[in-house]
Chain A
Amino acid sequence: MKNRRWKLALGAAVLALVLSVTACGDKEEKTVQKSSTGFVPKLDTQTACSLTVVGHYSNFEALEAEFNSFAKYYPNVQLKYIYMDGYSKASSGILSTALASTEAPDIFFTYPWMSDWPDGAAIAAASENLSDPALGIDLSCIRPNLLTKDSAGNILSVPIYTTTYGMLVNEDLFAKEGVAVPQTYAQLLDACEAFKKAGYANPIMGYNKGSDLLYPLFYPYFCAQVQGNETALKEMNELKPEAGQYMRSALELAHDFMSHGYINLDNCNELKDNYEAVILRFFEGDVPMMLASGNTVSGTEKREAKSQPFTSHPFKYSFHPVPSTETGGYFINAVSIGFGVNKSSKNLAMANEFMRFLISANELNTMAKAKRMVTPCIDMSLDSVYAPFRRLSAQQFINTLELGLSDAAASQVNKAGWQVSNGLLTVDEAVAAYGSIQ
């Protein structure tokens, strides 16, 4: 007992010392910088709280840069991005679990297909209506065809990034071999032939797990074929077997391209993922064309320094639409990620205030450029690596939301294309199997 009193007394002394020390810090001037972007804070700028954003990106420097910008208005608000295991998997249920936990996130990643998840309804029920005028979030900067509303007309998610599909082109190799970057399907075949003859083992490559590989070639082509054909879209969404006919031409395109032998499947199969592995393989400098998505392109800039071959022999590269017709390729525009707000957030007002800050052409374009993603804003300020897409005409822009193809139907098309590309199904077999392709 006596010993315990001593310990308590000693503890009190240490605490007093600590408190004295921490109380003696120099007062730091707290100044709020004037807005340079037109953002005017609505809340008390001295508000102290913390917000968390969760998602499946392992790193999100572009968002952290926005945190720094927001801190200029609200210096005492601590924003943090947290990677969450299993986040993007529909089966994990991790987001609905997180929203029900004691450390629920304030803002979270959303995907257009999230409503089809087993816990999609629970996530929707936990989401703030971001179109509520009281929040003051200006959604007019977003391309309207990227915004989706629920049955009550509420917008529960705002797109942050969109993506597209194409091919990374090693411009230095094209220049070296005197080959022009292809603008038509015929030129694509010619370019491949030229590189093949020049001794390139892989004139063109792509990630070949799941349903990728020729996806950037045949899927935009397919979308262009069915765009506006309401009957075709209706039957395909109903997964009727006879609707398989609508993908025949796209499958024949894939089959035709594979038949020329420009793609070495064994080498493609060595790519372990369709992000870092694809980028680093492309940076080795011996692949003229690498089929990829905008998500993959977003990781290129940071990985330049990670690649010993690239830092030793840097080259110029760009991202092009894959030409699938005699008039060129297409720009498929799909939402990559959006942000939703937890309406039970302990700091809901500040979470909405951050969204009000972020949803502006200036901030979203800044984020898009920082991550080399495609902005969701009307004012499409594309990074220079996307410059070739600027040459496409308005008719070659296809918005997947406007297209109206269901996720299930799109999945069937992708699987059919991949199986045909890998020789697992003939075109006729794939067409006949529509609706039940595994």
Chain B
Amino acid sequence: MTVAMESVTTNYLLGEQEVCNSWAAYINANDMTAEEAIGFVRKSISTSGIMAHILFAEDGGLNGLSTAARASKPGDYSVSYGNVTALNIDFGEVLAESVTVNVTRAYTNPVNAIQSIAFCCPIALKDDQTAILLRIVPVSAFQKKWFFPTEEYKTAGISLIDIAGDYIVQGYSFKNSNFYEFYQSYNSPTPDALKDLKSSMANAPGVFELNNSMGQRCMIAHTRVNSTDDWILVSMIPVAVLDRTVISWTLVGIITAGLLLLLVFNLINLMSFNRQLKEAAASADRANHAKTDFLSTMSHDIRTPMNAIIGLTAIASKNVDDQAAVRDSLRKINLASNHLLTLINDILDISKVESGKLNLNPVTFSIVECAENLVNIAQPMVKEKDIDFNFRINRFDHEYLYGDQLRLNQIYINILSNAVKYTGPGGQVCVDMREEPGETDKSVRLVYIVADTGMGMTPEFMARMYQPFSRQIDSRVNTVQGTGLGLAITKQMIDLMHGTIDCQSEVGKGTTFTVTLEIPIADRKDEETAPLSIRVLLADDDEILLETTKATLQSIGAEADIAHNGFEAVNMVSSRDDYDAIILDCKMPDMDGIEATRQIRSKVGKDVPILLVSAYDWSDLEETAKEAGVNGLISKPLFRSTLYNKLREIMGIGNDRAKQEDETADISGMRILVAEDNDVNWEIISMLLQMQGVETERAENGQLAVERVAGAAKGAFNLVFMDIQMPVMNGIEATKAIRALPDPWASHIPIIAMTADAFSENVAECLAAGMNGHIAKPVDMKLVLKEIKRIKEETKS
């Protein structure tokens, strides 16, 4: 029983010490003042009766602060241990030693005068102040943790003493304030006998007899408390009680039944535990298989485009004189390279997701540009597969939002590219994007719905489609390239943005994904627009698009009449001649936009500007459309700002922004410094830029780049492309050095990162270092040109 109590005591002491240590660890990690530390502990205490003191080392631990005010002086949180002579905290020992349990003897807590014990832990406060943190537990609370069969052994008692015999916890049948005094008072031992007793109790468990204060002969059992340096557990029971010869068979029966009950519980619990273990093992096995399958798939998926690239490169080399064959090989190499890049990006993303390192880097961005970007990306795929593509938007009141644009794009592109990828030729993909009121007036709810008429998904696959490494096993799917990671990444990113994703799908009929995200509104305001007091005819077979575009036109001050097809449009133009502009959808049944243009032109001549709207890549249509009399082309979706600018452009109102863009698009003659240590990369970028008429100069590392800029005449370079990982000095340090140059021109030269460090954190790091933009390797030349144009425009303005 005494040994069992030792175990209970040890567990309790370790638990209390652990709490004290965790407080101390938090304080040590946060560089707190004493007031902050005591405030933190005060908030952390959840058990009534517990308090804590911080005693400062500088005056030997005599003074400090308390979490509780003095019982007799409310509001006074100071504490003094000057009168606690019996405590004897060895300040040096507590600070220097790391023992399992560092607890005091029982003493009178000076704050509430309650007998208590204190668990100690050294702490380091602000300004190198050292102190001891005491977690103070009333002895009465400690005593309640003990269970002792007092009914069966009513006269039994148990105490906890320290090595000197002073009671930590004093059982009622134990007298005096010191166990050895108690022994001495009622047993008159010789000094040597007392010394031997102390020695034996301090060293090992044992039993002996003594007379108690009532003169009864008692059995004492004692054992060291393992978790402490010097505590001994002592139990005492009258010998007469132990000499009972009557056996309580009822008691024996109940204990046996109880033990059997416990045994049954134990067995059931073990069985349950085993079952859980099996399930866990099976789950781990499944995960292992999934990873093996994934690696196998990856191996296949990586080798396939690599095989194409290597093979086609060999073919091109052998047919170097046949331009058509080389062009065809290069086009296919380009396709395979892009696929390989997507694959690598997905693998890297899922690796970040799995390691919990996916972070958001919010920036101010234009949702209009985001949508336009989506359309641009989707158009080539849509065109290739001959898919009916509709991109509808509702009126967007807030163009500029504050969010992680890169991740948002990634989410939208993943879902849209899946829809296009898994929809066969002749199918339909509809994107519906709208802004709804947010939870607060400082945010909006972006709803993005992508519906396709593709192959759809089985309910079984839908249940696990967001898990990494999962792809639907389907002969149709296996013909489509994919990593099985896109949806998993998308879901993780949506979760990270606290958004939702919903999916409705039916095999053979199609799939609809709905993504809802709450995005803060950016401080940047939409550009003010002067109202366009014009009358416009709008023709489209899509009823929803008609409604949304009409609302958009009204928001910019235009009146809009609606025609549901080409014939109706022609008739309406015939019946009234006051339209200031006509907007025709390119793809309408019976009579398309180009034919309608021809007929309108035959009736009204060339005066009324006509704008042709297309959801597709209209580069192939442009020539035909212009021949038919179209003044301008515009892509769906029709955003307010885009539509406003285009109408102004074709009507010749104000500055022609499009023309301005064309003018600024000329980058020929610009001089760019390229900081790049890799010869191949330098060769690629310099060649690509030279093809655009851009002059380039190379710096082989960051240090040289800084020197070139510092030594260059004003205007010698228009821009710097900066690699990040370079010898001698990396791109981040080089940028900082350039920004610190004394020459205002040099220190303000535009710098664009051009690096394989493509994660959003890397982008943020570049911008924080003072760069003006970021282009990921391998470089997309369209992006490079766009960035150069942007810089040129900004420099002009």
Contact = CB atoms under 8 A, between A and B. Distances in A.
Interface of A: 2, 6, 9-10, 13-14, 16-18, 20-26, 28, 58-61, 64-65, 68, 78, 80-87, 89, 91-103, 119, 122, 302, 305-308, 311
B72 A103 contact: no
Contact of A97 (B72, B188, B214): B72
B555 interface: no
A58 B114 CA distance: 16
B610 to A, nearest CB: 67
A306 B191 contact: yes
Nearest to A58: B177
B147 interface: yes
A410 B258 CA distance: 71
A24 B254 contact: yes
A24 B72 contact: no
Nearest to A71: B214
A122 B71 CA distance: 13
A429 to B, nearest CB: 33
B115 A17 contact: no
Contacts of B250: 24
Interface in B223-257: 248, 250-251, 254-255
B83 A21 contact: no
A83 B254 contact: no
Contacts of A91: 83
A78 B173 CA distance: 10
Given A10-B269, A78-B172, A85 B84 contact: yes
A85 B86 CA distance: 7
A58 B149 contact: no
Interface in B73-126: 73, 82-87, 107-108, 110-115
A17 B262 contact: yes
B456 interface: no
B291 interface: no
Nearest to A61: B185
5 contacts: A21-B152, A23-B151, A61-B175, A65-B213, A94-B83
A305 B151 contact: no
B170 A80 contact: yes
Interface in B157-186: 170, 172, 175-178, 181, 184-185
Contacts of B268: 6
Contact of B172 (A23, A80, A92, A96): A80
B72 A25 contact: no
A68 B147 CA distance: 25
B461 interface: no
A86 B262 contact: no
A92 B170 CA distance: 25
Given A13-B261, A22-B149, A308-B191, 14 more contacts: A6-B265, A17-B254, A17-B261, A21-B149, A21-B152, A24-B248, A82-B115, A92-B83, A93-B70, A94-B83, A97-B72, A103-B115, A122-B72, A302-B185
Interface centre among A16, A89, A100 (most CB of B within 10 A): A100
Contacts of B86: 83, 85
Contacts of B110: 85-86, 92, 94, 97
Contact of A21 (B184, B213, B254): B254
A122 B73 CA distance: 12
B176 A311 contact: no
Contact of B147 (A18, A84, A87): A18
> Which 9 pairs, one residue from A and one from B, show the smallest C-beta to C-beta distance?
A86-B83, A98-B113, A17-B258, A25-B151, A85-B108, A100-B71, A92-B83, A97-B113, A101-B112
Contacts of A20: 254-255, 258
Interface string B651-665: 000000000000000
Given A25-B151, A97-B71, A101-B71, A89 B83 contact: yes
Contacts of B170: 80
A78 B143 CA distance: 15
Nearest to B214: A68
B663 to A, nearest CB: 68
A100 B72 contact: yes
B154 interface: yes
Contacts of A98: 71, 108, 112-114
B767 to A, nearest CB: 47
Nearest to B250: A24
Contacts of A13: 258, 261-262, 265
B272 interface: yes
Interface centre among A22, A26, A85, A89 (most CB of B within 10 A): A85
A339 to B, nearest CB: 18
B107 A85 contact: yes
Interface string B268-299: 11001000000000000000000000000000
A56 to B, nearest CB: 11
B177 to A, nearest CB: 5
Contacts of B82: 86
B702 interface: no
A293 B177 CA distance: 23
Given A85-B84, A96-B72, A305-B184, A24 B177 contact: no
A324 B110 CA distance: 44
